[in-house]
């Protein structure tokens, strides 16, 4: 069975996701944005064999403790190369918002559209979903109907596009072409806030309703 634990971390309430296969115990952590020791304790408590750290996009609040978790667990960090400039600028991002300096994680491997990230026996396809940032990605498992979308899409809202590299229309196209084509009962796991589903966002997300109105 695929298990998912959402851990809300840091002052910006980032959702860090621990996903693992309950049979093999192999797992990954997505966006360890803060409180790395707590995240590692949760991994140990569930006897998870951590295999890799995934960063959905290069904003500091989603990667603050990636270097720490990677170092302590001795696992690689994966991200999209398009967001490398943002990742390298994470300390200045943090300083701009009044947060302490952070350690930039070393990206051990780049992931891109079509790659498969294994979580034990469960494969998650990498989808390029830019807009919130140039290299934002989604992890999607069609069989389990789960999409980990970072800050692309939220419950009845969408990601910000006023940061460096953000683009409003690109973000909406990513949602329309990559997320809303999934089954309506696909669980959408966002980078902040509560989970939602594709069907719920089709029906109730005002940003998407407005986009469709302007497109017709």
pLDDT tens-place string over residues 179-209: 999 999 999 999 999 999 999 999 999 999 7
Q: Which residues have CB under 8 Å from 39's CB, separation 6+?
A: 7, 9, 16, 18, 29, 32, 65, 69
pLDDT tens-place string over residues 96-152: 888 888 999 999 999 999 999 999 999 999 999 999 999 999 999 999 999 999 999
What is the reported pTM?
Answer: 0.95
CA 201 to chain centre: 18
Length of the chain: 216
pLDDT tens-place string over residues 49-62: 999 999 999 999 99
- What's the rounded Cα separation, in Å, for the pair 120 and 132? 29
pLDDT of residue 18: 98
């Amino acid at each position: 069975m695929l298990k998912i634990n959402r851990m809300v971390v840091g002052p910006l309430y980032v959702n860090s996701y621990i996903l693992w296969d309950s049979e093999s115990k192999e797992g990954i952590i997505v966006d360890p944005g803060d409180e790395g020791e707590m995240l590692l304790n949760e991994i140990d408590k569930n006897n998870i064999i951590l295999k890799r750290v995934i960063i959905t996009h290069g904003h500091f609040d989603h990667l603050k403790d990636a270097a720490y978790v990677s170092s302590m667990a001795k696992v690689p960090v994966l991200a999209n190369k398009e967001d490398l400039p943002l990742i390298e600028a994470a300390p200045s991002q943090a300083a701009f918002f009044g947060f302490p300096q952070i350690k930039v994680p070393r990206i051990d491997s780049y992931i891109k559209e079509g790659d498969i990230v294994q979580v034990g026996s469960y494969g998650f396809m990498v989808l390029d979903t830019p807009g919130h940032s140039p290299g934002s990605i989604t992890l999607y498992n069609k069989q389990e109907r789960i999409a980990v979308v970072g800050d692309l899409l939220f419950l009845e809202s969408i990601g910000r596009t006023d940061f460096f590299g953000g683009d409003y229309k690109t973000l909406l196209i990513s949602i329309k072409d990559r997320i809303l084509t999934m089954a309506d009962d696909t669980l959408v796991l966002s980078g902040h806030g509560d989970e939602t589903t594709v069907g719920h966002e089709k029906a109730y997300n005002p940003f998407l309703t407005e986009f469709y109105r302007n497109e017709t």
